[in-house]
Every structure is written in C-alpha cells, then in structure tokens.
Amino acid sequence: MNTIFSVTQKQLYDFLLNVAPVRPVFIWGAPGIGKSAIVENFASELGLPCVSLLGSQLAPEDIIGVPQIKDGYSVFCPPKMIARNEPYCLFLDELNACSQEVQKAFYSLIHEQRIGEFILPEGTIVIGAGNRAQDSAIVKPMSSALINRMVHVQLRASHRDWLEWAYAHEIHPYVIEYIQMRPDHLWSEPPKTEEPFSTPRSWHMLSDCLYAYGKSLGETDIDILASSCLSPHTASQFKAFLKQIQSKYDLAKIINGELRWPDQPDERDLLYFMAQSLRAQLIKELPTEHTTLKANQRQLAFRAKDLIKDLSAISLEIAQMVVAEHKGEALPAWFMLEVIRDLPRLVAKKDG
C-alpha cells in the first residue's frame, strides 16, 4: 500500500473527524507508530466508547455470532461486544491479519454496519487498521471486496506531532531531548531479524523504564534499557547522548569554537554521536539551493567545513560518515562541492 497518501498524526485526526462519521476508514502503518492510540483518543474526543477487536485472534463466529432456534427458525445472535444499544467506535485492529473467512464475515459489518438482522446503532463509527506487508508483521492479503469497502490512508511518524504529545504526557526528559536533537531516530524500518527497533511506542516504553529506575539509574542500566527497546544503532547513539550530557561537550559550543572535538580513545562513541548530530543539524538547517542561503546559514556552512577538517584529523572514517549519503539523506550538493573544493585549501593554510 505504498501508493496511498501518507499523513501525520495530526492530519490523521482531522481526516478521521471528517471522513469516519460517513465512511469506514482503514489506517495502514508500521508497528508501534500510534495507530491504536490515535483511534482510541479520537473516539474519546467524540464521547464514544471504543470497542477493539483484534483481527488476528478472531474466528467468523466472533463476528456473525452463533445460531439459535427461535419459533422454528435459526437466528444468529451477534456478540455482546458488537450488539450494543448506543453508538460507539468499532476499532478493527490488525484487520488484515485475519483469515479470508473472517474477512468475509466483516463484509456486511463494514459496508452496511449490519450483522445478520442486527443493525449497528446510528452514529456508530467503524475504523480498521493494520501493518503493511513490508513491516515483517503478520499480515495476509486483503480481498479486493474488503479493500473496496473502506477509505484508505497511511500513517507516518512525525517528530513534531510526537514531541507535542510527549510534552503533554510527561515523557522522560532524556527521551524528549534526544528526539529534539535527532528527530530522524524517532522511527526506524522494522528489521528482517528478530531484534528491537525504534518506534514512538518503544520510546514511550523506554521513558517508562527510565522513570521506574529513578535516581538509581546507572550506566549499565542505561545500556540494558536502550538495547532492550531501541534499534541497535539508535541505542548506541542514545547511550552516547547521555554520556555527552554528563560530560563537558556540547555541539553548540563546538560549532561556536568554545570546545574542540572529543579526541581521546575512550571518547570515540561520544565523538561519533557528536559528528552524527552535526550532520543532522546541517541537513536540517542548510537549504537545498545555494541562492537561498541566509547569513547565519552561510556562517554555519563555513564553520562546518572547518569542523569536518578537524574531525578528519581525528577519525577519517567518522568524517566521511558526516558527508556520505545515508538512507536517501544527503548534505546539499552546493555544500558538498565547497567541501571538495575548499578542504585541501584549508589544510594547506593550516600547514602554512
């Protein structure tokens, strides 16, 4: 479902507010990105109870009910969870993880809001959600008949929306500060192997664990918690970030020339994190086109070239990492041209 238009958490809420009352909606998205939480909050805002059914755990009779003999006729009795007298939000989670037989049981429920002779209360909202095939999750092909009964939208992670939520829900300050510095680490693609990976949900779990340890949190505890919740690369960067907090080093001071790069052998993880942070800041703040460059951005670009030169003297590999393209993200082409052109001159000037 890569062709579906993707939206942020806030955009999805507005979409549901306008579309869900008139048509059933299906939300595609990676695990841990916040699909369930958004639907539950949406229902709460509307004053509707949210009834969740987990598609991967359903059998057809859980939807259509079981037959009983009444006046000589068989009558299907719908499940109590669904057969309610007042309107509610019916959330069909992991809908595309259920079997083809269960999918068929949903046809009339989704399209006509009806199960046999029982009609859902007027004002009831039906929303489905599920992971994508590329997410290494339990998913099954969704029949074309079921797809065509719903309006589809894809949810993507937004660090701005998530940070706003994180402040409101008092997520641990370490987590908030880290995502502010490295918003690209909020979410990572689910791995093909069985290992933790970074999602908004896993950062929330890490926050709870950090609070649980409280003041007794030690370096070993941080190693264990970060590795237990986050992608391996992000976990190592988060540990280096906390080490940076406890040290004298600060990226702003390094950029301003108040401090130099950490250059001791036992500071290599810290150096790597600071260099990654510089790269992230350059990608975020430098414009794509040189013609739109502002004075402060020009000053940052000039200083960054000096810092990359100094960094290469400590670790050529880490300096190359700063300027290399990674996962489709690269420094602006005009800046790379200046680095290639000016770096030999800067080195020669220093040697002279």
Categorize the per-residue pLDDT at 350 as very low, low, confident or very high, splitting at 50, 70 and 90: very low
| Res. 178: pLDDT tops 70 | yes
How far apart CA 285 and CA 279 sit, in angstroms, is: 10
| Res. 217: pLDDT tops 60 | yes
Question: Residue range 118-143: average pLDDT?
Answer: 91
Q: At 16, phi and psi to the nearest 5?
A: -65, -40
With H, G, I as helix, E, B as strand and everything else as coil, classify residue 135.
helix
Categorize the per-residue pLDDT at 70 as very low, low, confident or very high, splitting at 50, 70 and 90: confident
What is the pLDDT at residue 346?
38
Q: Under a CB-based contact definition with an 8 Å cutoff, are residues 260 and 254 in contact?
A: yes
CA 302 to chain CA mean position, Å: 33
Q: Are strands 66-70 and 89-93 parallel, antiparallel or unpaired?
A: unpaired
The predicted-structure confidence for 180-196, as pLDDT tens digits, reads as follows 989 999 999 999 899 99
Q: Are strands 73-77 and 66-70 parallel, antiparallel or unpaired?
A: antiparallel
| Res. 201: pLDDT tops 80 | yes
DSSP annotation string for 37-99: HHHHHHHHHTT--EEEEEGGG--THHHH-EEEEETTEEEEE--TTT--SS--EEEEETGGGS-
Q: Smallest Cα–Cα separation from 63: which of 26, 118, 23, 141?
A: 118
How far apart CA 218 and CA 228 sit, in angstroms, is: 15
Cα angle: 18, vertex 21, 23; to 5 degrees: 95
| Res. 250: pLDDT tops 90 | no
Most confident residue range from 28-42, 108-122, 132-146: 28-42
For all residues of the chain together, what is the average pLDDT?
89
The predicted-structure confidence for 290-345, as pLDDT tens digits, reads as follows 889 899 999 999 999 999 989 988 988 888 888 888 777 889 999 988 888 876 64
- What separation in angstroms does the CA of 89 have from each of 48, 54, 235? 6, 14, 37
How far apart CA 217 and CA 348 sit, in angstroms, is: 48
What is the pLDDT at residue 328?
79
Question: Residue range 213-224: average pLDDT?
Answer: 90
Q: Under a CB-based contact definition with an 8 Å cutoff, are residues 166 and 175 in contact?
A: yes
What is the pLDDT at residue 71?
76
- Please name each of the domains of the chain with its CATH number: 6-156 (3.40.50.300), 158-246 (no CATH), 247-352 (no CATH)
How far apart CA 118 and CA 107 sit, in angstroms, is: 14
| Res. 159: pLDDT tops 90 | yes
Residue with tokens 């579906």: 4
What is the pLDDT at residue 347?
39
What is the pLDDT at residue 50?
96
DSSP annotation string for 252-315: HHHHHTSSPPP-SGGGHHHHHHHHHHHHHHHHHHS-SSGGG--HHHHHHHHHHHHHHHHHHHH-
What is the pLDDT at residue 278?
92
The predicted-structure confidence for 236-247, as pLDDT tens digits, reads as follows 999 989 888 877
CA 227 to chain CA mean position, Å: 18
